[in-house]
Amino acid sequence: MAGITSYGAYIPMCRLPLAAIGGGKTEIPEGGPERSVAYFDEDSVTMAVAAARDCLSGINRGLVDGVLFASTTYPYKEKQGASVIAKALDLRRDVRSADFAGSLRAGTNALRSALDAVRSGSARNVLVVASDCRLAAPRSALERNLGDGAAAFLVGDSDVAVSVEAEHAISDELIDVWRTNDDRFVRTWEDRFIVQHGYRENLIEAIQGLLEKTGQAPQDFTKAVLYGPDARSHTGVARALGLDPSAELQSPLFGRLGNTGAAFALMLLVAALEEAHAGERLLFASYGDGAEALALQVTDKIEKISGKRAIRWHLDRRRELRSYDAYLALRDLQPGELDRRGGGGVSATIHFRDRDQDISFHGQQCRRCKTMQFPFQRVCYRCFTRDDLEPVGLAERRGKLCAYTFDFFAGSPDPPQIVTMTEAEGGCRIHLQMTDASPQEVKLDLPVEFVFRKVHEFGGTPNYFWKCTPVR
C-alpha cells in the first residue's frame, strides 16, 4: 500500500501586515491580517530544502529513492531544481530527480507521480517537495492574497500514515492566472470570471467525480482540505458542497499565511495532518489548469510522526516587517545602489569542485586525531597528518557563536549584515553569515542551527550556501 509516511513544511519568518500594502500606513496595528514573506536570501529552492529537512527529520536519508520538486518560481529556466535539493539534503548519488512546473497544480501532480512510482515498484520511498515564492505587482489586489512557503511529503509503501483511497482529476484550458518568461509579476484576468468558470466549476467537478467513484458524500469525511484563491471563494465552494466552513473545513490560513501557489494545497494538508487522528478521512482537492481530488484515510501510524515543525511552529515564529518599503527592499522592487545580480559570479568549475562543502555542507574529520575542520584541506591543522581526512555532515548539527560583527557597509537590503565565527558540534569552526536575526539577540555562545540560503546572485544566478540562525 502506497501512501504518505512523513510530512514537513516551512514558512518564512517575515510577515507583511496587509494594512501596509493598501495605504502604506506608518502606524500599523498589531495583530491584524498578514502574509508570509520570504527573506532576501530565500527563494523556492531554499524553502524546499527547509521543508524537506523537516519531513526527513529522524528518517534515514539513505532510504530515499527519488526527489520530485514542484514550483512555478524556480529561479532557473533550464537547470533541474530537484538535483540541487537532493545535493543540499546529502541524498544518495543514484537518487532519481525530476521537476514539476507550469501550473498551480504542480504540487499535487508531483504527489500523484510519487504514489504511482511506489505502487509500480520502481521506488520504495519518494520525497515530494512543493515550494513557491510568487510576485504580484506592488500594491495590487493579488499581492494581498499571496504568501511564500513550502511543503514536503515522503511517499512510501511501509508505515503508511495516510493512505489514498481514491483519486480523480480533470484538465481544463482557461487563461485565469499566468506568467510568461518575460513577466516578473503574476498576471490575472477578471476575478469574478476566473473564480466562477475556473476555480469553482473545476474544483466542484473534480470532487463530484471522486465522490461518484467512492459512492460517498462530502459529509462522510472528517474534514475537507481545499485549495482556494481567496477566503471568500474558498468558503463559497465549501457551502456549495454542503459543508459547514466552521466545522468541516480546514482553515485556508488567509490573513496568516497567504496563497503559496503550487505549495498551498499541500501546506493546508500538512496543517490538517498536524491535528489528525487515526480513523479520520480527509477530502483533499487542489486547483490549477483543471482540478484534482483525493480521498485520504489516516492510519494509526500518524501518531508516530512527531517532532515536526510543520505549520503551527512556523506560524508562531514570526517577525513583522517594519514597513512596506522594507518589503520592497527584500523583493528588490525599488531602485537602490545595491545590485544583487552584478559582478561575474562564481565560476562553474569552482562550484563543481566545492559543491560537497558548499551545497551538502560537508566538513572533514581527521582519521587519526578526530579533529573536525572546514573547508576541505589536505593537512590536519592539529596533528598535521596528510591526506587522511574523511567527510562529515554539518547541516544537521547545532552550534554556538564564538565571535560576531555587524557590517553596515555590506550590500544587504536589511542591514546590518551579521557575520559570525560559529563552532559546530564536534569543534569545527566556520565563518558564516547569520540570517533571520536582529542585532539585539546576538551574543557570544548563542545556540544556532544551520539553514540553506542564497548568499548572492552575482553573475545572474542564485548562489547557495549555508548560514546560521538562532535556535528557536
Residue 194 banded pLDDT, cuts 50, 70, 90 = confident
Query: Does the pLDDT value for residue 24 go beyond 60?
Result: no
pLDDT at residue 347, rounded to an integer: 83
| pLDDT value of position 342 | 59
Q: Assign 338 a pLDDT band (cuts: 50, 70, 90).
A: low
Band the pLDDT of 339: cuts 50, 70, 90: low
Torsion, Cα of 324, 325, 331, 336 (10° steps): 170
Q: What pLDDT does 23 receive?
A: 59
Quote the crossing angle between the two packed helices 106-120 and 264-274, to the nearest 10°. 70
Query: pLDDT tens digits, residue range 274-293?
Result: 999 999 999 999 999 999 99
The residues, any chain, with a CB within 8 Å of residue 161's CB and separated by 6 or more, are 3, 4, 5, 6, 273, 298, 299, 301, 302, 304, 305
Residue whose entry in the numeric block shows the C-alpha cell 501518531: 303
What is the pLDDT confidence band of residue 147, given thresholds at 50, 70 and 90?
Answer: very high
Residue-level pLDDT at 7: 98
Residue 27 confidence (pLDDT) above 60: no
146-150, 174-178, 394-398: least confidently modelled range: 174-178
Q: Once rounded to an integer, what is the mean pLDDT over residues 445-459?
A: 93
Across 58-64, average pLDDT: 96
- In terms of phi and psi (left: phi > 0; alpha: psi -120 to 50; beta: otherwise), the region of 422 is beta
Contacts of 284 (CB under 8 A, 6+ apart): 224, 225, 226, 265, 269, 293, 294, 295, 296
Distance CA 140, CA 102 (A): 23
Q: What is the per-residue pLDDT across 371-419, written as a single tens digit (0 to 9) for each?
A: 999 999 999 999 999 999 999 999 999 999 999 999 998 878 899 999 9
Confidence class of residue 21 from pLDDT cuts 50, 70 and 90? confident
Q: Which residue has the higher pLDDT, 322 or 435?
A: 435
Which three cell numbers, joined as nine digits, stand for 77?
529556466
Domain 3-330 is found in CATH 3.40.47.10: yes
How far out from the chain centre does Cα 379 lie?
38
Ranges 11-20, 168-177, 266-275, 457-466: which has the least confidence: 457-466
Report pLDDT digits (tens) over 86-143.
Answer: 999 999 999 999 999 999 999 999 999 999 999 999 999 999 999 999 999 999 889 9
Contacts of 392 (CB under 8 A, 6+ apart): 362, 363, 364, 365, 372, 426
Hey, how many other C-beta atoms are within 10 angstroms of the C-beta on 264?
28
Tell the residue number behind the cell numbers 537532493, with chain if given. Answer: 86
The pTM assigned to this predicted structure is 0.94
Q: Please state the domain extents for the chain.
A: 3-330, 348-470
